[in-house]
Amino acid sequence: AQTVTQSQPEMSVQEAETVTLSCTYDTSESDYYLFWYKQPPSRQMILVIRQEAYKQQNATENRFSVNFQKAAKSFSLKISDSQLGDAAMYFCAYRSRSGYALNFGKGTSLLVTP
Amino acid sequence: EAGVAQSPRYKIIEKRQSVAFWCNPISGHATLYWYQQILGQGPKLLIQFQNNGVVDDSQLPKDRFSAERLKGVDSTLKIQPAKLEDSAVYLCASSLEAPLGQQFFGPGTRLTVL
């Protein structure tokens, strides 16, 4: 079974600064998908960004970008120009090419200070 | 477009009682998932439906949990009898039947078992 590890239980960033959240995973598959989800206190999981393993180019969505290192099995999320609304739990997730279910890490709580 | 609907939002029960959660996925989404999210952890898949059929229920505690998806639309997750360790948020998600079908999550039901 694939395991997803988020080694930072909590992170803090000042408004307008940049923060990087770490994620590593373990898999024997060569083709898969990786995701970052945001879960605010309302509990609704919101997709932030996704990466397909066969694509070498790192995904970018506005202020959010990833650093995907396939050989190292690392998938970090960079948030630029942090905003107060970015405060939430962030979950890294893995999905097999052949399956649909997401395998989540334990999450990182992001605090944004004014 | 309406999102995934879940009810109730909160439920408090005594151990050994039964409880049911309801989920209405996004219209047209063939795949439906139930996840259990224990406090401080990432969501864990309980069961996945493709239309009416069960695709994966390997992590569903079948001695006490049951789920159904009648007519391939709404779904109900039931716990009978509940244990203290069942206290968690139960998330429902749905997706199109596509290889990269994005999962859309509902707001979840927070269950407290006393």
Taking the C-alpha atoms of residue B46 and residue B55, their distance in angstroms, rounded to an integer, is 11
Amino acid at A5: T
Residues A12-27 pLDDT 10s: 999 999 999 999 999 9
What does the block give as tokens for B72? 């391939």
- For the residues B11-33, what does the mean pLDDT come to? 95
Q: What mean pLDDT value characterizes chain B?
A: 92
Residues B85-94 pLDDT 10s: 999 999 999 9
CB contact under 8 A, B43 and A100: no
Is A91 an 8 Å CB contact of chain B?
yes
Per-residue confidence (pLDDT) for residue A11, from 0 to 100: 97
pLDDT confidence bin for A32, thresholds 50/70/90 = very high
Residues of A in contact with B110 (CB under 8 A): 43
Give percent of chain A with pLDDT exceeding 90.
Answer: 83
Per-residue confidence (pLDDT) for residue B99, from 0 to 100: 54
- Number of helices and strands (H, E) in chain A? 0, 12
Amino acid at A98: S
pLDDT confidence bin for B98, thresholds 50/70/90 = low
- For the residues A97-103, what does the mean pLDDT come to? 82
Per-residue confidence (pLDDT) for residue B101, from 0 to 100: 73
CB contact under 8 A, A105 and B110: no
What does the block give as tokens for B58? 């390997």
- Return the HEC string of chain B: CCCCEEECCEEEECCCCCEEEEEECCCCCCEEEEEEECCCCCCEEEEEEECCEEEECCCCCCCCEEEECHHHCCEEEEECCCCHHHCEEEEEEEECCCCCCCCEECCCEEEEEC
Taking the C-alpha atoms of residue A44 and residue B64, their distance in angstroms, rounded to an integer, is 26
Taking the C-alpha atoms of residue A99 and residue A108, their distance in angstroms, rounded to an integer, is 25
Per-residue confidence (pLDDT) for residue A97, from 0 to 100: 82
Residues A43-92 pLDDT 10s: 889 999 999 999 889 999 999 999 999 999 999 999 999 999 999 999 99
Q: Is the pLDDT of residue B30 over 80?
A: yes
Count of CB atoms within 10 A of residue A91's CB? 26
**Better-predicted residue by pLDDT, B99 or A51:** A51
CB contact under 8 A, B93 and A45: yes
